Structure 1
Amino acid sequence: MDARNAASSSSSPSSSSKRWEYQVFLSFRGEDTRKGFTGHAALSGDGIRAFLDDNELKRAEFIKTQLEQAIDGSMISIIVFSERYADSSWCLDELVKIMECRERLGQQVIPLFYNVDASDVRNQKGSFEQAFEKHEKGKHEKEKVERWKKALTQAANLCGKDCAFV
């Protein structure tokens, strides 16, 4: 199914009546994927309107607010889980917002596992475990860290795609 027809097939009544600003929101750790996987313009072909932070954000405005509005306004969110995704509190905050929009708006969420195992994301093992050890020792509230872990588990439990690139 292509992104243009995805809204009409959603089972959520709120998603079928919502007017989407973007067809796709792409959540990714730029340092891991921007120069390769997410740097390609594949999503902009075929008339798909995708929100990409390097193209859409206005630096003078509040970035967090813009990201949240873009997530709210997207029919589909694609989460590219990479080795250092969980190192970023920005990525984890985006993930929580995406999972909230999935529940509230019926937004479709597609996880991609870019050189990481889905079970590492689901169970916060490997690099994800290391990232959370740092978050738990850092300045983040325990409740926020628990929301991040829950969102990771929920997203990794969705049907996703493994992407392995050398």
Structure 2
Amino acid sequence: MDSQTSFEDQYSLRLSVCSWETPNWKYDVYLNSKNERICSHGKTFTDRLYTALTEADIHTFKPDELQLGVDDIPSDRLLKEIEESKISIVVFSKEFASCRFCLNKLVKIMDCRNTRRQLVLPVFHHVDPADIRKQSGSFEAAFARHEKLLNLEKIKEW
């Protein structure tokens, strides 16, 4: 066997093993965030992040208002887009915990991290990571509001 054939055989085998071990990804990145206030120059932080990712040829899915589910439950299509993303970027802002829809998507993202080995990258936009970890500040207030409206099991899931 010559060295060229050996290389091709190795490469072919490595490619088939890699495709067997990892899921087929439709997107490089799923971008999860709470809609923020528009900045003075007309774009939100998430808009600018999405633009930067797509300009770098990173295939990114950012849901819009039309892809929401019913009663704060993400649609099946949206859940599938999360599943088919290699990476999820979660943009935590002060308003994030007030959005039940965002929290429900976060549950799905964390499930994909555990079952599909999806990489999850948190981004802390004008929020202290300790507020999320300790559920203090705006996160404490949001969860207190949720507790008045929802059952405790749902709150624990989040």
With the shorter chain as reference, the TM-score category is 0.7 to 0.9
Question: In 1, distance between residues paired with 2:133 and 2:37?
Answer: 19
Task: Tell me which residue corresponds to 2:8.
Answer: none
Task: Tell me which residue corresponds to 1:112.
Answer: 123
Q: What is the count of residue pairs matched by the alignment? A: 133
Question: In 2, distance between residues paired with 1:120 and 1:144?
Answer: 20
Question: In 2, distance between residues paired with 1:72 and 1:16?
Answer: 16
* TM-aligned CA deviation for residue 44 of structure 1: 0.7
Structure 1 counterpart of 2:108, from 77, 92, 97: 97
Gaps of 5+ in 2: 1-17
* TM-aligned CA deviation for residue 133 of structure 1: 0.4
Structure 1 counterpart of 2:45, from 24, 31, 37: 37
Query: How big is each residue's C-alpha offset from its partner over 1:30-61, in whole Å with a ceiling of 9 and x where there is no partner?
Result: 134793211121111122110011298499xx
Aligned residues of 1:14 and 1:105 also touching (Cα < 8 A): no
Structure 2 counterpart of 1:141, from 125, 134, 151: 151
TM-score after normalising by structure 1: 0.72
SS at match of 1:24: strand
* TM-aligned CA deviation for residue 15 of structure 1: 8.9
Aligned residues of 1:24 and 1:78 also touching (Cα < 8 A): yes
Question: In 2, distance between residues paired with 1:77 and 1:92?
Answer: 14
Query: How big is each residue's C-alpha offset from its partner over 1:73-97, in whole Å with a ceiling of 9 and x where there is no partner?
Result: 0000000000010000000001111
CA RMSD of aligned residues (A): 2.6
Query: Identity of aligned pairs, percent?
Result: 41
Gaps of 5+ in 1: 1-12, 149-166
Matching of residue 53 in structure 1 with residue 63 in structure 2: yes
Runs of 4+ deviating beyond 2 Å: 13-17, 31-35, 54-59
TM-score after normalising by structure 2: 0.76
Query: How big is each residue's C-alpha offset from its partner over 1:105-156, in whole Å with a ceiling of 9 and x where there is no partner?
Result: 0000000110101010011100000000000001x221110111xxxxxxxx
Aligned residues of 1:77 and 1:107 also touching (Cα < 8 A): yes
Q: Larger Cα Rg: Structure 1 or Structure 2?
A: 2
SS at match of 1:26: strand
SS at match of 2:127: coil
Aligned residues of 2:28 and 2:60 also touching (Cα < 8 A): yes
